Protein backbone atom coordinates (compact mmCIF):
# COMPACT_ATOMS: atom_id res chain seq x y z
CA UNK A 1 0.00 0.00 0.00
CA UNK A 2 1.22 3.48 -0.87
CA UNK A 3 0.53 6.31 1.57
CA UNK A 4 1.19 10.03 1.63
CA UNK A 5 1.21 12.33 4.66
CA UNK A 6 0.62 16.08 4.72
CA UNK A 7 -0.75 18.87 6.88
CA UNK A 8 -4.33 19.97 6.05
CA UNK A 9 -3.39 23.19 4.31
CA UNK A 10 -5.58 26.20 3.57
CA UNK A 11 -7.12 26.06 0.08
CA UNK A 12 -4.12 23.99 -1.12
CA UNK A 13 -2.24 24.13 -4.40
CA UNK A 14 -2.55 21.56 -7.20
CA UNK A 15 0.47 19.51 -6.10
CA UNK A 16 -1.27 18.76 -2.80
CA UNK A 17 -4.09 17.00 -4.65
CA UNK A 18 -1.75 15.29 -7.10
CA UNK A 19 -0.08 13.54 -4.16
CA UNK A 20 -3.44 12.68 -2.63
CA UNK A 21 -4.76 11.12 -5.83
CA UNK A 22 -1.62 9.03 -6.33
CA UNK A 23 -1.94 7.46 -2.86
CA UNK A 24 -3.89 4.45 -1.64
CA UNK A 25 -4.35 6.13 1.75
CA UNK A 26 -3.74 9.75 2.68
CA UNK A 27 -2.82 10.70 6.23
CA UNK A 28 -3.96 14.14 7.33
CA UNK A 29 -1.08 15.33 9.52
CA UNK A 30 -3.26 17.16 12.03
CA UNK A 31 -1.49 16.58 15.36
CA UNK A 32 1.79 18.30 14.51
CA UNK A 33 2.64 21.85 15.51
CA UNK A 34 0.98 24.72 13.66
CA UNK A 35 3.39 26.72 11.48
CA UNK A 36 2.97 30.47 11.62
CA UNK A 37 3.30 32.33 8.29
CA UNK A 38 3.07 29.10 6.33
CA UNK A 39 0.30 27.59 4.18
CA UNK A 40 -1.88 26.27 6.99
CA UNK A 41 -4.00 29.41 7.31
CA UNK A 42 -3.16 31.28 4.11
CA UNK A 43 -2.43 30.82 0.41
CA UNK A 44 -1.96 32.85 -2.74
CA UNK A 45 -4.52 33.73 -5.39
CA UNK A 46 -4.18 35.91 -8.48
CA UNK A 47 -5.43 39.34 -9.41
CA UNK A 48 -4.49 40.56 -12.87
CA UNK A 49 -0.74 39.86 -13.20
CA UNK A 50 0.27 39.41 -9.59
CA UNK A 51 -0.41 37.11 -6.67
CA UNK A 52 -1.86 38.20 -3.34
CA UNK A 53 -2.36 36.42 -0.04
CA UNK A 54 -5.74 35.25 1.19
CA UNK A 55 -5.58 34.59 4.93
CA UNK A 56 -7.79 33.09 7.62
CA UNK A 57 -7.15 34.87 10.95
CA UNK A 58 -6.33 32.58 13.87
CA UNK A 59 -5.89 33.10 17.59
CA UNK A 60 -2.30 33.31 18.83
CA UNK A 61 -2.92 31.19 21.93
CA UNK A 62 0.20 29.54 23.37
CA UNK A 63 2.33 31.50 20.93
CA UNK A 64 1.45 29.06 18.15
CA UNK A 65 2.87 26.02 19.92
CA UNK A 66 -0.45 24.19 19.85
CA UNK A 67 -1.15 21.26 17.52
CA UNK A 68 -2.68 22.22 14.21
CA UNK A 69 -5.93 20.44 15.07
CA UNK A 70 -6.39 22.75 18.09
CA UNK A 71 -5.80 26.08 16.35
CA UNK A 72 -8.84 28.32 16.72
CA UNK A 73 -10.15 30.81 14.19
CA UNK A 74 -10.30 34.44 15.29
CA UNK A 75 -14.01 35.10 14.90
CA UNK A 76 -13.73 38.59 16.36
CA UNK A 77 -13.23 39.83 12.79
CA UNK A 78 -15.63 39.71 9.84
CA UNK A 79 -13.28 37.42 7.97
CA UNK A 80 -15.98 35.49 6.09
CA UNK A 81 -17.35 38.54 4.29
CA UNK A 82 -13.86 39.89 3.60
CA UNK A 83 -12.68 36.55 2.23
CA UNK A 84 -15.64 36.20 -0.11
CA UNK A 85 -15.24 39.77 -1.33
CA UNK A 86 -11.53 39.25 -2.05
CA UNK A 87 -12.22 36.08 -4.05
CA UNK A 88 -15.02 37.80 -5.93
CA UNK A 89 -12.81 40.79 -6.71
CA UNK A 90 -10.05 38.53 -8.07
CA UNK A 91 -12.14 36.10 -10.11
CA UNK A 92 -15.47 37.70 -11.05
CA UNK A 93 -14.32 37.94 -14.68
CA UNK A 94 -12.83 34.45 -14.87
CA UNK A 95 -14.29 31.90 -17.27
CA UNK A 96 -15.74 29.59 -14.61
CA UNK A 97 -16.73 32.13 -11.99
CA UNK A 98 -20.30 30.81 -12.28
CA UNK A 99 -21.32 28.52 -10.63
CA UNK A 100 -18.17 27.99 -8.53
CA UNK A 101 -18.28 31.25 -6.63
CA UNK A 102 -21.72 30.42 -5.25
CA UNK A 103 -20.45 27.05 -4.00
CA UNK A 104 -17.25 28.50 -2.54
CA UNK A 105 -19.10 31.37 -0.89
CA UNK A 106 -21.47 28.80 0.57
CA UNK A 107 -18.58 26.87 2.12
CA UNK A 108 -17.10 30.03 3.60
CA UNK A 109 -20.43 30.98 5.18
CA UNK A 110 -21.64 27.44 5.95
CA UNK A 111 -21.30 27.91 9.70
CA UNK A 112 -19.38 29.76 12.37
CA UNK A 113 -16.21 27.71 12.11
CA UNK A 114 -14.34 27.44 15.40
CA UNK A 115 -11.25 25.48 14.36
CA UNK A 116 -8.88 26.05 11.47
CA UNK A 117 -8.85 22.36 10.56
CA UNK A 118 -12.63 22.28 10.10
CA UNK A 119 -12.50 25.11 7.59
CA UNK A 120 -9.50 23.64 5.79
CA UNK A 121 -11.08 20.20 5.53
CA UNK A 122 -14.30 21.70 4.16
CA UNK A 123 -12.32 23.11 1.23
CA UNK A 124 -10.17 20.02 0.82
CA UNK A 125 -13.37 17.99 0.51
CA UNK A 126 -14.67 20.46 -2.08
CA UNK A 127 -11.53 20.13 -4.19
CA UNK A 128 -11.57 16.35 -3.84
CA UNK A 129 -14.96 16.44 -5.51
CA UNK A 130 -13.82 18.77 -8.28
CA UNK A 131 -10.76 16.62 -9.04
CA UNK A 132 -12.58 13.30 -8.62
CA UNK A 133 -10.37 12.06 -5.77
CA UNK A 134 -11.69 9.22 -3.62
CA UNK A 135 -8.50 8.30 -1.74
CA UNK A 136 -9.50 7.39 1.86
CA UNK A 137 -8.33 9.86 4.51
CA UNK A 138 -6.89 8.98 7.91
CA UNK A 139 -6.11 11.56 10.61
CA UNK A 140 -2.73 11.21 12.32
CA UNK A 141 -4.33 12.21 15.64
CA UNK A 142 -6.30 8.95 15.51
CA UNK A 143 -3.28 6.68 15.00
CA UNK A 144 -1.93 6.74 18.57
CA UNK A 145 1.66 7.48 17.54
CA UNK A 146 4.28 8.64 20.02
CA UNK A 147 6.09 11.97 19.86
CA UNK A 148 9.15 11.65 17.63
CA UNK A 149 11.36 13.80 15.49
CA UNK A 150 9.68 14.30 12.12
CA UNK A 151 11.49 11.50 10.23
CA UNK A 152 10.82 8.93 12.96
CA UNK A 153 7.23 10.12 13.27
CA UNK A 154 6.58 9.63 9.57
CA UNK A 155 8.21 6.21 9.69
CA UNK A 156 6.03 5.25 12.67
CA UNK A 157 2.89 6.33 10.79
CA UNK A 158 3.97 4.27 7.78
CA UNK A 159 4.35 1.24 10.04
CA UNK A 160 0.97 1.85 11.68
CA UNK A 161 -0.61 1.99 8.23
CA UNK A 162 1.23 -1.14 7.02
CA UNK A 163 2.59 0.92 4.15
CA UNK A 164 4.98 -0.61 1.65
CA UNK A 165 5.55 2.71 -0.12
CA UNK A 166 5.74 6.26 1.19
CA UNK A 167 5.00 8.96 -1.41
CA UNK A 168 6.92 12.06 -0.40
CA UNK A 169 7.37 15.57 -1.72
CA UNK A 170 10.85 16.77 -2.77
CA UNK A 171 11.42 18.63 0.51
CA UNK A 172 11.49 15.29 2.32
CA UNK A 173 15.07 14.87 1.13
CA UNK A 174 16.02 17.55 3.66
CA UNK A 175 14.75 15.76 6.77
CA UNK A 176 14.04 12.06 6.16
CA UNK A 177 16.43 9.41 7.47
CA UNK A 178 16.44 7.32 4.30
CA UNK A 179 18.41 4.50 5.90
CA UNK A 180 15.75 3.91 8.56
CA UNK A 181 13.07 3.54 5.88
CA UNK A 182 15.27 1.09 4.00
CA UNK A 183 15.77 -0.99 7.15
CA UNK A 184 11.99 -1.06 7.64
CA UNK A 185 11.50 -2.23 4.03
CA UNK A 186 9.45 0.86 3.20
CA UNK A 187 10.18 2.29 -0.22
CA UNK A 188 10.27 6.06 -0.62
CA UNK A 189 8.86 7.36 -3.90
CA UNK A 190 9.48 11.03 -4.63
CA UNK A 191 6.57 13.00 -6.00
CA UNK A 192 7.27 14.22 -9.53
CA UNK A 193 4.65 16.89 -10.11
CA UNK A 194 4.92 19.10 -13.16
CA UNK A 195 2.71 22.11 -12.64
CA UNK A 196 0.42 22.57 -15.66
CA UNK A 197 0.29 25.92 -17.39
CA UNK A 198 -3.32 26.86 -17.99
CA UNK A 199 -5.21 29.98 -19.15
CA UNK A 200 -5.33 32.41 -16.23
CA UNK A 201 -6.78 35.87 -15.87
CA UNK A 202 -4.24 38.52 -16.81
CA UNK A 203 -1.25 38.10 -19.09
CA UNK A 204 1.56 36.45 -17.12
CA UNK A 205 1.14 32.88 -15.85
CA UNK A 206 1.82 32.42 -12.14
CA UNK A 207 2.25 28.80 -10.90
CA UNK A 208 1.77 27.28 -7.45
CA UNK A 209 -1.32 29.26 -6.48
CA UNK A 210 -4.26 27.92 -4.51
CA UNK A 211 -6.31 25.40 -6.49
CA UNK A 212 -9.03 28.07 -6.39
CA UNK A 213 -7.25 29.72 -9.29
CA UNK A 214 -7.40 26.59 -11.45
CA UNK A 215 -11.06 25.96 -10.63
CA UNK A 216 -12.13 29.49 -11.56
CA UNK A 217 -10.05 29.50 -14.73
CA UNK A 218 -10.54 25.93 -15.98
CA UNK A 219 -13.50 24.38 -14.17
CA UNK A 220 -13.42 20.67 -13.42
CA UNK A 221 -11.16 19.48 -16.24
CA UNK A 222 -9.91 16.83 -13.85
CA UNK A 223 -7.52 14.80 -15.97
CA UNK A 224 -5.70 17.91 -17.16
CA UNK A 225 -4.39 18.76 -13.72
CA UNK A 226 -4.11 15.55 -11.71
- Highest average pLDDT, of 53-67, 69-83, 136-150, comes from 69-83
Lowest average pLDDT, out of 45-49, 139-143, 190-194, 222-226, goes to 222-226
Mean pLDDT of the chain: 93
pTM score: 0.95
Average pLDDT over residues 67-81: 95
Q: How confident is the model at residue 225 (pLDDT cuts 50, 70, 90)?
A: low
Q: How confident is the model at residue 207 (pLDDT cuts 50, 70, 90)?
A: very high
Taken in order 83, 208, 134, 130, the sign of the CA dihedral is: positive
Average pLDDT over residues 44-60: 95
Looking at residue 60, its pLDDT comes to 74
Residue 64 has pLDDT above 90, yes or no: no
* Residue % of the chain over a pLDDT of 90: 85
Residue 206 has pLDDT above 90, yes or no: yes
pLDDT digits (tens, 9 = 90+) for 161-180: 999 999 999 999 889 999 99
Q: How far apart are CA 120 and CA 38, in angstroms?
A: 14
Average pLDDT over residues 31-56: 95
Residue 222 has pLDDT above 60, yes or no: no
Amino acid sequence: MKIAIHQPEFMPWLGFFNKMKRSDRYVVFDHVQFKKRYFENRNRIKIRNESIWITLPVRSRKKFTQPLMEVEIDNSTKWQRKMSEKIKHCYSKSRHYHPYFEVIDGIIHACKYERLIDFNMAFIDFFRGVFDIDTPLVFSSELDVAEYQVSDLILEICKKMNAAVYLCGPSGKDYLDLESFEKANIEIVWQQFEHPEYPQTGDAFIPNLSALDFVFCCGNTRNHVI
